[in-house]
Structure 1
Amino acid sequence: MDNSPQADDTAPATVPRGIIVLVGIAGIVVAVAGMKLIAGLIAPVFLALMLTIAVHPMGRWLRRHGCPAWLAALTLVIGVYGILVILFGSIIYSAARLTTLMPQYADKFDSIVDDLKHFLGEHGVNSESIHNMLSNVDAGKIISAAGSLLSGLVSTTSGLVLVLVVALFMAVDAVGFSDRLTALDRLRPNVSVALNNFAAGTRTYLVVSTVFGLIVAVLDAGALWALGIPLPLLWGLLSFITNYIPNIGFVLGVIPPAILGLLDGGWSKMLIVIVVYSAINVVIQSIIQPKFVGDAVGLSTTLTFLSLVVWTWILGPLGAILAVPLTIFVKCLLIDIDPSTRWVNLLIADSVRPDASAGPERHDDV
């Protein structure tokens, strides 16, 4: 009889951790590829969700004070539609004003390009290199690009229609969602807590970004008005919108007024615009605001910037605005929803809290 030790066939098989990591990475790659393919659907739907979350407290307040469900739902719909009309209307109007303004500076722009060619030629740059460098820079092409921008904004109408339709149904469903979460809390408390905290974090992020955006917009518009830059209110609006883009939003906002400063008053005025914008926006948007946002949503400054890069690559320009809420949503699904993974909060948060590994503090405000 063979008494040699044998493997226990009843012992459960274990999968090596390395295999689990590789499968997880492969799943992430497939998911990202899928999201990139349907970016035109994901971005508008998530925008509708974000706006519904933003206005949901109004409906909850009305319900608590005895208003019927249909009135609360109608209030949410009006709130979401009002935000969209103001946002898209302002953007399209601003782009139209820009296209009508640019032709006035066509001659000045061509003159600046000629001066730049002359300057480069005097400093040893051969004419062929100058031609290759500046052959595609002329006022006509800049004006044409501005017109293309307006056409592109108008072409987003189909996406806007999707946002409006989805927001309508979300607003109706949102009226009774608090009751559903209350029932869910008895069955799946971890899921309920994660969803509540996602809504609370998104709403806090929107409030913080809106407040700082208004501050930046007022300061920028006032500075541009004092400097005599055309359309200061338009560029203040642009500063407000780009404030929702983490870390580098002000860089996008300074380009148009800086170019107008160059056309209106030369290189010195352009430099003044850049310095003034940097003094205002770097301090507020890149130093003060990220601290408030990081503390509010539990994301470090580095992760916030990386989320901007990743979601812009996946979803396009709208992904830059939705980057932080989308990252909060992914964090909700992959980390906060499972007690065994909440230790990751210690690594991705802007500051360490004693209870970070236990998950975020619950916010019952959905």
Structure 2
Amino acid sequence: MTLAYYCGLFFVINIFFCFFFLTITLIGGIILSGSIVGSSIAEFTGKADFYEANLTDKYNAFIGLDEAADSTTKSLLDEVGIKEMILNSSELITPSTLIKWTTNIMGSVQSVFKNIFLIIISMIFILTEMGGFKHKIDIISQHSPDTKISIDKFITSLRRYIGLKSLISFITGVVITIWVSLLGLDFPFLWGMTAFLLNFIPTIGSIVAAIPAILLALVQLSFPQAGLVAIGYIVTNSLVGNIIEPKVMGDGLGLSTLVVFLSLIFWGWIFGIAGMLLAVPLTMSVKIALESSPNTQDFAMMLGAIKPKKKKKAKTTK
């Protein structure tokens, strides 16, 4: 046995143990996060009666049914017409209804964690087969260089998209966790994890993530503090979604905004929450498949985003 053989064997063993350690760490982190989220949801369910009683007191005080309500506030609400509007809607929206909505939303978050776990396990198996998969692609596309170029471009773009999107979503989750912790909202880790996960869903994910936290802030805290929670979500998502993400991601995967939104509906209808999380990669796979054939390249162009044409500089004559 030569020294090169032992060095190569040592390198392979190191790679194996690194991959094994990263896999165990990833699965352990998911299980730990899932258990924390599950315990938070169970704790919220146990305190539902307390939250409902607290919300009922605020609800009664706001519409003027509580004797402790300020007379100036009552008269102001009467003049503006808010009190009458709330009384008319009180039969449809009650404190118990809001608590039930919040509980259902938090239950949906738990199911999202289960789907995320299955998706990541699937990705681990895909990564283990990546070497053989690349070899198969080389064999299949040896007579079609354009197909190989398209697939390589797709894999590179997808890897970049997932990596950057994960980093941006992680930053969003950390900021939300710190913000709601400073405001004293219960279960800050849960809201940070919700913001992290749902940020993978384009367009509507960040909006959905804010709803249960704002509802709980209305129940647990005051109306001004609930407004601060909402402002925190708006500012964070605006900075991340409109400034940081476009600069970091660039053109992304080249899908138009309308196609991304419609893909959320389509893949969500087929696969549920998991389909919404994977809407962009799945749609990009369809786009690459359409680009691989000259007969379907026009359809692929319809899925892509239109890039603005660069203005040519006018030639100056001396």
Same fold (TM over 0.5): yes
Name the CA shift for 1:286/1:316 in 2 (closer, same or farther; >3 Å).
Answer: farther
Select which of 142, 145, 156 maps to 1:189: 145
Distance 1:141 1:288 in 2: 37
Select which of 40, 48, 57 maps to 1:102: 48
- Say yes or no: does 1:240 pair with 2:196: yes
Partner of 1:278 in structure 2?
A: 234
Select which of 205, 209, 234 maps to 2:165: 209
- Are 2:177 and 2:192, in contact at CA under 8 Å, matched by a contact in 1? yes
Distance 1:188 1:88 in 2: 45
Name the CA shift for 1:282/1:132 in 2 (closer, same or farther; >3 Å).
Answer: same
Name the CA shift for 1:253/1:152 in 2 (closer, same or farther; >3 Å).
Answer: closer
Partner of 1:224 in structure 2?
A: 180
Name the CA shift for 1:143/1:278 in 2 (closer, same or farther; >3 Å).
Answer: closer
Distance 2:216 2:35 in 1: 23
Higher deviation after alignment, 282-291 or 149-158? 149-158
Name the CA shift for 1:163/1:284 in 2 (closer, same or farther; >3 Å).
Answer: closer
- Say yes or no: does 1:318 pair with 2:264: no
- Are 1:198 and 1:332, in contact at CA under 8 Å, matched by a contact in 2? yes
The Cα RMSD (Å) is: 4.1
Instruction: Calculate percent identity across the aligned residue pairs.
Output: 26
Name the CA shift for 1:117/1:167 in 2 (closer, same or farther; >3 Å).
Answer: same
- Are 1:98 and 1:146, in contact at CA under 8 Å, matched by a contact in 2? no
- Say yes or no: does 1:111 pair with 2:111: no
- Are 1:290 and 1:301, in contact at CA under 8 Å, matched by a contact in 2? no
AA aligned to 1:212 is I
Distance 2:117 2:194 in 1: 23
* Offset, 1:274: 1.2
| Corresponding residue SS for 1:298 | coil
- Say yes or no: does 1:338 pair with 2:293: yes
| TM-score, normalised with respect to structure 1 | 0.63
| TM-score, normalised with respect to structure 2 | 0.71
* Offset, 1:296: 2.9
| Corresponding residue SS for 2:252 | helix
- Are 1:242 and 1:253, in contact at CA under 8 Å, matched by a contact in 2? yes
AA aligned to 2:44 is L
Aligned residue runs from structure 1 range 280-299, under 5 A: 280-290=236-246, 292-293=248-249, 295-299=251-255
Partner of 1:26 in structure 2?
A: none
* Offset, 1:200: 2.1
Name the CA shift for 1:181/1:69 in 2 (closer, same or farther; >3 Å).
Answer: farther
Distance 1:171 1:304 in 2: 26
- Say yes or no: does 1:134 pair with 2:106: no
Name the CA shift for 1:222/1:271 in 2 (closer, same or farther; >3 Å).
Answer: same
| Corresponding residue SS for 1:186 | coil
* Offset, 1:68: 10
Distance 1:89 1:102 in 2: 20
Distance 1:225 1:165 in 2: 31
Distance 1:179 1:75 in 2: 26
Partner of 2:129 in structure 1?
A: 173
* Offset, 1:108: 1.2
- Say yes or no: does 1:198 pair with 2:154: yes
- Are 1:96 and 1:150, in contact at CA under 8 Å, matched by a contact in 2? no
* Offset, 1:85: 3.9
Name the CA shift for 1:274/1:96 in 2 (closer, same or farther; >3 Å).
Answer: same
Q: Unpaired runs of 5+ in structure 2?
A: 1-7, 65-73, 311-318
Distance 2:15 2:236 in 1: 45
Name the CA shift for 1:300/1:93 in 2 (closer, same or farther; >3 Å).
Answer: farther
Distance 1:68 1:147 in 2: 46
- Are 1:298 and 1:348, in contact at CA under 8 Å, matched by a contact in 2? yes
Select which of 289, 304, 313 maps to 2:260: 304
Partner of 2:283 in structure 1?
A: 327
Distance 1:243 1:285 in 2: 9
| Corresponding residue SS for 2:176 | helix
Name the CA shift for 1:88/1:221 in 2 (closer, same or farther; >3 Å).
Answer: closer
Q: Unpaired runs of 5+ in structure 1?
A: 1-61, 355-366
AA aligned to 2:193 is L
Partner of 2:316 in structure 1?
A: none
Name the CA shift for 1:312/1:274 in 2 (closer, same or farther; >3 Å).
Answer: same
AA aligned to 2:54 is K
* Offset, 1:94: 4.3
- Are 1:109 and 1:138, in contact at CA under 8 Å, matched by a contact in 2? no
Name the CA shift for 1:255/1:78 in 2 (closer, same or farther; >3 Å).
Answer: same
- Are 2:287 and 2:303, in contact at CA under 8 Å, matched by a contact in 1? no
Select which of 252, 266, 277 maps to 2:208: 252
Distance 2:248 2:145 in 1: 28
* Offset, 1:353: 8.2
